[in-house]
Chain A
Amino acid sequence: MSRIKTCFDGLKAQGRQALIPYVTAGDPNPQVTVGLMHQMVSAGADLIELGIPFSDPMADGPVIQLACERALSHNTSLAMILAMVAEFRQQNDTTPVVLMGYLNTVEKMGYDVFVAAAKKVDLDGVLLVDLPPEESADFARKLRQEDLDAIFLITPTTTEERIEKICAVGSGYLYYVSLKGVTGGASIDTVEVAKKLDLVKQHTQLPLGVGFGIKDAASAARVSQIADGVVVGSVLVNALGDNASNPEKGCAQVVSTLLEMRQAMDATV
């Protein structure tokens, strides 16, 4: 069974929700990432989204754009990121890891080469923000053949017809983007989000993660009451960016933010 399913099933049995941090691999430099992943797990992360840096991150706001630039200034490549996952797995065989990024980096490596490598390093899922279901048949099939999850986005503008289509091809979990905009944008409106999630739930049994606009323990706790997973990115990436010359300090801030969120989320149970 997929690690992602095991993870969500286990949490559900305890009545808890997944805390899902996003960091860009190689930010602020490639030596930091694997250690940071372990630290995040210790701070309460249930699943890790690891960003593949891209030169043209169209769906991201300035915070993650800068993270991409920092990572790319150290030539962080997809091959290096897969090696990071392998290294992470040497000490952690339970926490799911999902790569998130843009299609061109994966296409350049080649779908077959990528999927084989992803399997080998024991990756769990892939989310490519510019690869919609319409264009993903080939890639999603290859992922499925190797039991890797293809994770897709649903947004406030997604029509019910598309929700159906996305639910049919997605696996692992669905990622609901809480607002119109790029990462690091405005704050989340949980009432609006809850309405849309109810609609999505009519079409799927998959767990629903919610991201974009979750900035602190309070918003994490609020979202945990309406979703199965809470995705938090820009706040963490900001901490790494503000302390780019002192990564230990940046990582410590990431840890303390996650600890606060974890506590607040579990307090609502």
Chain B
Amino acid sequence: MTNATSLPDADGHFGPYGGRFVSETLFAALDDLRDTYERLWQSPKFQAEFDLDMAHYVGRPSPLYLAKRLTQKYGGAQIYLKREDLNHTGAHKINNTIGQALLAKHMGKPRIIAETGAGQHGVASATVAARLGLECVVYMGVEDIRRQAQNVYRMKLLGAKVVGVTSGTQTLKDALNEAMRDWVTNVDNTYYIIGTAAGPHPYPKLVRDFQSIIGREARRQSLEQTGKLPDAVVACVGGGSNAIGIFHPFIDDKDVRLIGVEAGGKGLETGEHAAPLSDGTPGVLHGNRTYLMSDDNGQILGTHSVSAGLDYPGVGPEHSYLKDIGRAEYVAATDDEALHSFRELCLLEGIIPALESSHAVAYACKMASQMRPDQTIVVNLSGRGDKDMQTVADIDGIEV
């Protein structure tokens, strides 16, 4: 377990998970990406370039904020929010797209593609593309285009082309399929910015590394503000990038509980959810072996979540590994629990969180009430809820 932080191995394995399960056409591109990444990530010059963008463009470090009234309400552990919602473009996704766009630039690729669910990764990709003068195409399920119309318009304003995906369940997994198809076809001039810590090696590793800035800051800020490490770190898990980003720097701190909150949808018992770690089995999808929601015949199941960004049947392979070795715990929060926390954070703290992040808040509140006031929980508030106005208004039956 002490070497859990040294993974993945050279072929991208986290124990039995990860790897490279893609069609042969992509191997040369994946090798090239791996080699470029390994070289640049070790380079102080590249690091400085990344850090500068993080500070001046994204606005990092993001604050670690003590949510006093929320803490009071639950009467237990102190709840701190890691404010990724304050990043430029409104979510943690930008940390990864800045890093990958730098890779694309160094590799001389004039065109980037991305898949998106909630649209946050699409917006973050369109943003970096605009800034670097790269062509940008974003694949998005038509069901998500409907739920996240604001973000679709944002991407267009930023100069990206948004392509609606009508195959399969018309959500994030299908957008990923379509992006892969584009990449196979245009591999010579195209860089594929995967938006989460999943996909074939080296994506889970490099996305984690770019997102780990969240955990490094949170660890330092906890020490500064509370004089100790937190008792628990809580994050929502879609593909798992904001969670692995905040978890990873704490993996060797054995006393810090790491808790990933999946989308419980209408309840795990209904089967209508998006919680492969809580209620799935290992399999292979989108280039990696990991926990998946699939049926007895190996077909991938449709998922349900009120939040488009968590509506995905797989999860990054490192989470599968952390689950199996028991270093992280994975639980689920339902749509209703997330919506409740969404409203509560609005009213008690003046923060409108993303519906994705609201899942993490929901579980953290539940935990806090069972803990002592001298204990602390850090919740990754992965994004802001502006994009979710339509969804929540629809649920409330209000026209905006």
Supposing A58-B286, A158-B28 touch, asked if A132 and B294 sit within 8 A by C-beta, the answer is no
Quick check: which of A28-36, A102-110, A189-197, A255-263 contacts chain B, the rest being far away? A102-110
Whether A144 sits at the interface, judged by CB under 8 Å, is no
Whether A182 sits at the interface, judged by CB under 8 Å, is yes
Whether A134 sits at the interface, judged by CB under 8 Å, is yes
Whether A55 sits at the interface, judged by CB under 8 Å, is yes
Whether B163 sits at the interface, judged by CB under 8 Å, is no
Max chain A Cβ within 10 angstroms of own Cβ: one of B180, B284, B294:
B284
Would you give the shortest CB distance from A208 to chain B, in whole angstroms? 14
Quick check: which of B16-24, B45-53, B220-228, B250-258 contacts chain A, the rest being far away? B16-24
Supposing A132-B20, A157-B25, A180-B187 touch, asked if A61 and B181 sit within 8 A by C-beta, the answer is yes
Whether A185 sits at the interface, judged by CB under 8 Å, is yes
Would you give the shortest CB distance from B27 to chain A, in whole angstroms? 6
Residues of A within 8 A of B181 (CB): 58-61, 181-182
Residues of A within 8 A of B185 (CB): 180-182, 185
Q: What 0/1 readout, one digit per residue, does chain A (141-169) give for beta carbons within 8 Å of chain B?
A: 00000000000111111110010001000
Residues of A within 8 A of B296 (CB): 108
Supposing A104-B298, A157-B29 touch, asked if A55 and B21 sit within 8 A by C-beta, the answer is no
Is the CB–CB distance between B298 and A108 below 8 Å? yes
Is the CB–CB distance between A159 and B28 below 8 Å? yes
Whether B36 sits at the interface, judged by CB under 8 Å, is no
Supposing A54-B299, A56-B177, A105-B297 touch, asked if A130 and B25 sit within 8 A by C-beta, the answer is no
Is the CB–CB distance between A134 and B28 below 8 Å? no
Residues of A within 8 A of B23 (CB): 58-59, 129-130, 153, 155, 177
Is the CB–CB distance between A104 and B168 below 8 Å? no
Residues of A within 8 A of B38 (CB): none
Is the CB–CB distance between B24 and A131 below 8 Å? no
Supposing A107-B298, A180-B188 touch, asked if A58 and B292 sit within 8 A by C-beta, the answer is no
CA distance A69 to B177 in the complex (A): 15
Residues of B within 8 A of A155 (CB): 23-25
Whether A47 sits at the interface, judged by CB under 8 Å, is no
Whether B184 sits at the interface, judged by CB under 8 Å, is yes
Is the CB–CB distance between A62 and B187 below 8 Å? no
Residues of A within 8 A of B184 (CB): 59, 180-182
Whether B164 sits at the interface, judged by CB under 8 Å, is no
Residues of B within 8 A of A54 (CB): 298-299
Is the CB–CB distance between A104 and B285 below 8 Å? yes
Whether B268 sits at the interface, judged by CB under 8 Å, is no
Residues of B within 8 A of A55 (CB): 168, 299-300
Residues of B within 8 A of A104 (CB): 283-285, 292, 294, 298, 300
Max chain A Cβ within 10 angstroms of own Cβ: one of B19, B23, B174, B285:
B23
**Contact-size category for A:** 35 or more
Residues of A within 8 A of B287 (CB): 130
Whether A17 sits at the interface, judged by CB under 8 Å, is no
Is the CB–CB distance between A130 and B187 below 8 Å? no
CA distance A102 to B177 in the complex (A): 13
Whether A65 sits at the interface, judged by CB under 8 Å, is yes
Is the CB–CB distance between B298 and A78 below 8 Å? yes
Whether B11 sits at the interface, judged by CB under 8 Å, is yes
**Contact-size category for B:** 35 or more
Whether A93 sits at the interface, judged by CB under 8 Å, is no
Would you give the shortest CB distance from B26 to chain A, in whole angstroms? 8
Whether B173 sits at the interface, judged by CB under 8 Å, is yes
Residues of A within 8 A of B24 (CB): 132, 152-155, 157-158, 162, 166, 177
Would you give the shortest CB distance from B180 to chain A, in whole angstroms? 5
Supposing A58-B286, A130-B21, A182-B185 touch, asked if A105 and B27 sit within 8 A by C-beta, the answer is no
Is the CB–CB distance between B167 and A65 below 8 Å? yes
Cβ 8 A contact of A135, one of B20, B29, B187, B286:
B20
CA distance A62 to B283 in the complex (A): 24
Residues of A within 8 A of B298 (CB): 54, 78, 104-109
CA distance A233 to B28 in the complex (A): 25
CB-nearest residue of chain A to B185 = A181
Interface residues of A in 91-146 (CB under 8 A from B): 102-109, 129-132, 134-135
Interface residues of B in 257-316 (CB under 8 A from A): 283-287, 292, 294, 296-300
Supposing A103-B284, A162-B27 touch, asked if A108 and B21 sit within 8 A by C-beta, the answer is no
CA distance A59 to B23 in the complex (A): 7
Residues of A within 8 A of B29 (CB): 157
CA distance A62 to B167 in the complex (A): 8
Is the CB–CB distance between A105 and B299 below 8 Å? yes
Would you give the shortest CB distance from A231 to chain B, in whole angstroms? 15
Is the CB–CB distance between A157 and B20 below 8 Å? no
Cβ 8 A contact of B283, one of A60, A69, A108:
A108
Whether A77 sits at the interface, judged by CB under 8 Å, is yes
CA distance A69 to B286 in the complex (A): 18
Is the CB–CB distance between A134 and B11 below 8 Å? yes
Using A60-B181, A72-B299, A132-B24 as known contacts, list a sample of 15 further A-B pairs with CB atoms less than 8 Å apart, ordered by residue number in A: A55-B299, A58-B181, A104-B292, A104-B298, A104-B300, A105-B299, A107-B283, A107-B298, A109-B298, A134-B19, A157-B26, A166-B24, A180-B184, A180-B185, A182-B185
6 A-B pairs with the lowest CB-CB distances in the bound complex, closest first: A108-B298, A105-B298, A181-B185, A153-B24, A59-B23, A157-B28
What are 21 residue pairs bridging A and B, where the CB atoms are less than 8 Å apart in the complex?
Answer: A56-B173, A57-B177, A104-B300, A108-B283, A129-B23, A132-B20, A132-B24, A132-B27, A135-B20, A152-B24, A153-B23, A153-B24, A154-B24, A155-B24, A157-B24, A157-B27, A162-B24, A177-B23, A180-B186, A180-B187, A185-B185
Q: Which residues of B contact A (CB under 8 A)?
A: 11, 19-29, 167-168, 173-174, 177, 180-181, 184-188, 283-287, 292, 294, 296-300
